[in-house]
Each structure stands twice: as C-alpha cells, then as structure tokens.
Chains A and B, each alone.
Chain A
C-alpha cells in the first residue's frame, strides 16, 4: 500500500478503513526497527554535514577566505595523502561488505574475520587522518590560520568521530553476539554496520570533493544556493 494511499485512508468510514487495516502489515519486526532507526540517524548526520557544507560555501564568499588547494603552498595542494586515506577507507567498506556476504552464506568464521580486517582498515584510516593533521599543523596550517582550515579540521574530525563511534558499537555488538552465542544475529548486525560504513565512505568522498575545489567552483555553488 503506497504512502499516499495510506495517508488518504478514510478512516472514519468502516468499510474502507477495514480494507486498509487488512492490507496493513501490522507491527514490524525488531530488526526492521533497528534498520529504520539507523536510516533516520544517517539522515540526521547528513543534515549536520549539509549545514557544515552550506556554511563553508557561504564562508568561501567572504574576503580573506583561502581555498585549501591551488598554489603549492596551500595545505591540500597535493592530494596524494587524501587519495591514500580514501583507499584505506574504501578497503574498510569493502571488507565490511565481504563480511556481510560471508555471514549471509552462513560462514561465520570468515564473516568475523573480514569484519576484523574492516576494523583494522578503519583504525588505519583514523591514524592516517591524524597523521595528515599533524603534517598540516607542522606546516603552519593550524586550526585558526584561516576559516577554511578551521572547516577542514572540524569536518574531518566530526567524520572521524562518527567512524570511531561506529567502530565502538560494532565491536560491542560482536562481543555481545560472542558472549550470548547468538550467531543468528550476526548477519543482521553486519548489515547495519555495512550500511553505516558505506555511508561514511560516501560522506568522506563528498568531503574530499568539497574541500579540494577551486574558488570558481565555490562561487558557482554559492550562486546556485542563493549565497553568492
């Protein structure tokens, strides 16, 4: 039953309302609830980053704002490190997906193994980001040297925090499954984790693209958003 049909139900009319109730699914299962909650949570995270992006674009139109790429002395003039980090995070996402597919096939040992590798790559990504920050800081591109630098540190830090939070929850879930020997929950838990990791990879790619654009691109986006 489509959402429009559900929202146009004539619930005061016994005949049509009974038909609508008969075709309704009734209470959902617990896992479906968790999945819905995760999706809503991802919407909230998207709103947070969308607001960061919008204020970043607005800021980019103020005098004194320096882009992060371009001339050789700019902090992200070379994007090699960013590409390496992207590869590491993509590996984490891929390993998470492999873990899920193995769990679906009932290969519990391999599923846990791939998940652990995903956790390893995730930690690697976090460390690589910290390394990048240390390098940039060492070159004088500090948190306060320009609003664009502030945005870079802020947005990447919030992204990393989400990743670390996800890691903690995933390891906690695995520990519970291990302790209660509830292997049947593994596939569903990994499905949620997998969705989260893919989302954070997508978010990182958007961040990567946004932070490495030219002033002209920012100008165009600002005009399109009514901020120019």
Chain B
C-alpha cells in the first residue's frame, strides 16, 4: 500500500467549493479554530455579564429586583461552568489548538479533519443545550459549578427540574466533542509532524497543548462517569450518590449512595482541568515572551519536562479541594505534599520566563505586555495556592472570598492574560492585519490594573471571613463596615473592567477592515506558522511542498547571524555573516552551556 504521510494528506477530498463547505461544514483546521473561538468568546461574554450581575448584588445588596437568592445562585453556577469548561477549555484547545497545531508542526491539517468538524459542531450543540437552560421551567441549575449531590438533585435548589438535566446533557455532549478534538490534537502532534520536527524542536505552545490534550482525554472521563451516574440517580432513581435522607420533611426514595464519591470523581477531573487550561497558556506565553524579547527561551528542555511533570502530578492532588470533607489525616498530608511538590516545576517555569526576559531586547508590544502581566498575576495566584494547599491554612480559609480571589487570579486572570497575549500575537497571522496598538494598550492597562482592583481586596475579604457563594451578608457582627465598602468598590472596578473589554471586541472587528496589513511574519518569529507561503495561510497551509525543519524554534539574536531571528526552515549555516569565523549559530545560547 502507498505510504501517505498523515502530515501531507491531499486536501482535495475536503477542498471547500461552496460557502457552506468553506465557512459552515468546513474541515479546515483554521476555520474550525475560528468557529471554536467565536463560540467560546460569545459564551464567555455571557458568563462575564452573569458575573456583573453577581457583583451588582454583592456590592449593592437589595438594589436590583431581578437578582434574588435563586437567580444569584444560577448566575454563579453558570458563570463558573461556562468560564472553566465552555470558554477556557474550548478556546485554548479547540481554538488555539486547532489553529496552531498543524501550522506549528508543519502539517496540512489535523490528522482526522472530518472528526475535527464533528467536534466543533458537537461543541456548538453542547453550548446551545446549556444556554437553553435559561429558558426552561425553573431556569438553569443553581447548584454551584461543582454540582455536588445531594443538593443538586433535591427540591429547594434552583433549577432542580430541567436545569440540572440540561447541564448534565450539555456536559456529556461537550465531553464527546472534546474527545473527538483531543484525539485529533494528540494524534496530529504524535504522527503528523513534518520532516525534521523532532519532539524537542516543537515550540512550547505545542508541548502545552499536547500534554493538556492528553490530560483532557484522561480527566474528562471522570466527569462523564459522574454525569452518567448522577443522571441515573436523577432520572432513574438509582442511588450512586444519593444517601438516605429527609428533604423538606419528606424521605427520599434513595438509599446507600455516597455524595463523597461524587466529590472524588468530580475533583479527579476538576483539578487536572486547572492544568488543562494552564498548560496551553504556559506554552503560548513562553513563545510570546521569547519572540518579543528577541531571546531564546531559557531552559527549553526543563520547560518541556516541567510541563510533562506538572501534567502527571496534577492527577495526584485532587484531594486538596476536599480538605473540609472529613478526609483523614494521612490523606490530607499526602495531598498537601503532592500539591506543594507541583510548585517546584511551576516555580521553575516562572524563573525561566523571567530569565528569558533578562537582558533581552524587550519590545513592549501589546502581546508582550499581556505576557508580562501574566507573570505577575500567575505568581500572585500561585502563591496564594501555596496557602490553600496546606490543610491547616485551608481549613479556616475554605469557602471564603480568599479562595475566590485565589482561583480567579491563577486560572482566570492569568490564563485570560495569555489568551489576550496570544490573540494580539497571532491575529496578524489569522487575518493578515495588525490589531490597533493604541486600543490594545488601553485594553491591557485597564485589564491588568482592573483585575488587581477587583481581586486583590478579595483576599482581604477572605481573611475577614466573608463567605463565598452567599447572596447577601446582612449585618453580620464579625464583618466590619469596611467589608461592605470594599465589596462596593470591587463591584465598581469590576464593572469598569468588564466595560473596557469592549475595547478588545471593537479592536477585533475594527482590525478586520481597517487594520494595517501585517505582511509576512510581522513579529520576526522563528516558528513554522509564520513561514507559510500565504498570509493568512491558505487551505492546505504549505503550498506544493511541506516545510522541512532544520533547527529548534528559539534561534533569536544568534551571534553573527544576519538578522535577529532564524526561522526553523532555514538550514544550519545559512543566514550567517560570511566573514564570521565564530561558532555556528545556536551554540552560544544560554541553554547550551549548563546542559
């Protein structure tokens, strides 16, 4: 049988010939990426508006009649679930993963384009099902994004009629969509890399997405299993998670189930999910920092290993979300220790990002600003994670605003910073036009400072004992007046922060028509996606022949080179000063010596 390299699959069988084939039922990874990203950003805006409603209530209690205890819990649940699963996961893996994997590894498309197309449409259906819950009797579920039974199912919890059914169904469809996508991402990276693209020549973006995809494929089954079992408890009367109990004066029909079992299953998915979101961000920020500092990434090999180690360890720490569930002491000790061990490779990455900047020719472009902003917010959120990873500190801080501040900084703000950095960085490739730098900088400073204005005081609220998930605090004695004033201030800043995101949306749209033409490789980047014959890349990406890779992705500011970057497609020895008798390029990089 003829050998058909998977990277070089002929595009004829899905070459778009009609509008529908090109923009709707497209099998082109770039179109699918844009479809994923558009849906994710739309649903993310919905979740952002829900957070504004929550802040209005917390900052100015009893002022807005449409927010009552039930709707508050529904906004909170939907905000959390949408942001974590339907926005961040979908945007980072479905959006960036789809766009960048084939281009960065030198393939014409994903390994299975048809499956890829099914993936995005399943994702679309899952979002429709989720949003449909706003329009059914009882509204969406208000059980919290963790969906803990038994309260998720019992009367008294908002949305316990149709909302929870739609949530479970939507999650199941999303997991099917993710699995189809994830199989594609992993197989493409493993099998479809072009000639010369060894594993250790891959940019860190691909490493982050690759490991995160593996993690998603192994972690989402836990959510699927718990969703199936909960659906059976809810609809068929089984007792996987439902114990014997009296609800609103009535005995329930269930007996013998364990709510704690659900928590274990949920967090076996839930904690890796943090890194499913974080690892692609780690990868992308590494590439943005290296490109805009005109310097090779510091400690590339360690950065790869750190991604792999973080991915593996993240499956061993789920229990740190359950310290207050009655866990026994040795388990608490194990989970706390494992959690603190993860800090080692994570800290290594932070040091390496900082050392990449050290003595670099730093260009303070908008992607770079967001990337530096990420380092700040990630360090901030990561350090508070060390607090919460310790049982003895976590117990008093659990269920307070400190936890809200922590996870928003570490997986909300910092990840979104990278998403913005990545959009400003790769938008010229996607559209062929540069985004407006002035608007981008306004967007950066309002987002960066706004995020601190919102989340920094929340740590203080947590220390004061202000609980999370509460609709209203009332006149609780232990909370001084300052907490109420601070809540109002947070709300004002949150609304400003949200309002200024419109600058970004305007910039996205404005650029499509009025943005300056980007031309080829406007940032002077080395990685493959910038070396396509067309900008934006055409269907099939590479013209007649696949590119051949001759070097790693970080040859920036190589001594004696004719320019301050050498693309991966340039053979060794080319682009060097002819008169130079110095060493070959790449040999004097920072990493070359210690390793």
A residues whose Cβ falls under 8 Å from a Cβ of B:
6-14, 17-18, 20-21, 24, 26-33, 36-37, 40-41, 43-44, 47-48, 51-52, 55, 58-59, 62-65, 143-144, 146-147, 150, 154, 158, 184, 188
Chain A: CB-nearest residue to B213: A40
Are A58 and B261 in contact (CB-based, < 8 A)?
yes
Residues of A close to B183: CB separation below 8 A: 37, 40-41
Can you spell out 8 A-B residue pairs with CB atoms less than 8 angstroms apart? A7-B304, A11-B300, A27-B8, A28-B5, A28-B191, A33-B187, A37-B112, A62-B258
Q: Which of A14, A29, A48, A51 contacts B584 (CB 8 A)?
A: A14
B residues whose Cβ falls under 8 Å from a Cβ of A:
1, 3-9, 107, 111-112, 179, 183, 186-187, 190-196, 198-201, 217-218, 221-222, 224-225, 228-229, 232, 236-240, 253, 255-258, 261, 265, 268, 296, 300-301, 304-305, 546, 549-552, 554, 572, 584-587, 589, 591-592, 595
CB proximity of A151 to chain B, nearest CB, Å: 8
Are B239 and A147 in contact (CB-based, < 8 A)?
yes
Q: Which of B240, B586, B591 contacts A14 (CB 8 A)?
A: B586
Residues of A close to B549: CB separation below 8 A: 21
CB proximity of A97 to chain B, nearest CB, Å: 21
Q: Which of A32, A63, A64 contacts B6 (CB 8 A)?
A: A32
CB proximity of B29 to chain A, nearest CB, Å: 15
Given contacts A11-B200, A27-B5, A146-B256, contact A48 B190 (CB under 8 A): no
Chain A: CB-nearest residue to B220: A44
Interface on chain B toward A: helix, strand, loop, or mixed SS? Answer: loop
CB proximity of A28 to chain B, nearest CB, Å: 4
- B8, B190, B238, B572 interface centre (most CB from chain A within 10 Å): B238
Given contacts A43-B218, A146-B256, contact A12 B586 (CB under 8 A): yes
Are A7 and B258 in contact (CB-based, < 8 A)?
no
Are A36 and B592 in contact (CB-based, < 8 A)?
no
Are B265 and A51 in contact (CB-based, < 8 A)?
yes
Are B191 and A32 in contact (CB-based, < 8 A)?
yes
Residues of A close to B300: CB separation below 8 A: 11-12
Q: Which of B195, B199, B238, B595 contacts A6 (CB 8 A)?
A: B199
Are A12 and B305 in contact (CB-based, < 8 A)?
no
Given contacts A14-B585, A51-B221, contact A64 B255 (CB under 8 A): yes
Residues of B close to A28: CB separation below 8 A: 5-6, 190-192
Residues of A close to B258: CB separation below 8 A: 58-59, 62
Chain A: CB-nearest residue to B585: A14
Are B554 and A150 in contact (CB-based, < 8 A)?
no
Residues of B close to A12: CB separation below 8 A: 296, 300, 552, 554, 586, 589, 591-592
Given contacts A33-B6, A144-B237, contact A51 B551 (CB under 8 A): no
Bound Cα distance from A200 to B535, whole angstroms: 47
A-B pairs, top 4 by smallest CB distance, nearest first, are: A27-B7, A27-B5, A28-B191, A11-B552
Are A154 and B229 in contact (CB-based, < 8 A)?
yes
Bound Cα distance from A150 to B235, whole angstroms: 13
Are B586 and A26 in contact (CB-based, < 8 A)?
no
Are A9 and B200 in contact (CB-based, < 8 A)?
yes
Residues of A close to B179: CB separation below 8 A: 44
Bound Cα distance from A3 to B549, whole angstroms: 20
Chain B: CB-nearest residue to A154: B232
Bound Cα distance from A51 to B228, whole angstroms: 12
Are A7 and B194 in contact (CB-based, < 8 A)?
no
Residues of A close to B584: CB separation below 8 A: 14
- A9, A20, A30 interface centre (most CB from chain B within 10 Å): A30
- A12, A32, A37 interface centre (most CB from chain B within 10 Å): A12
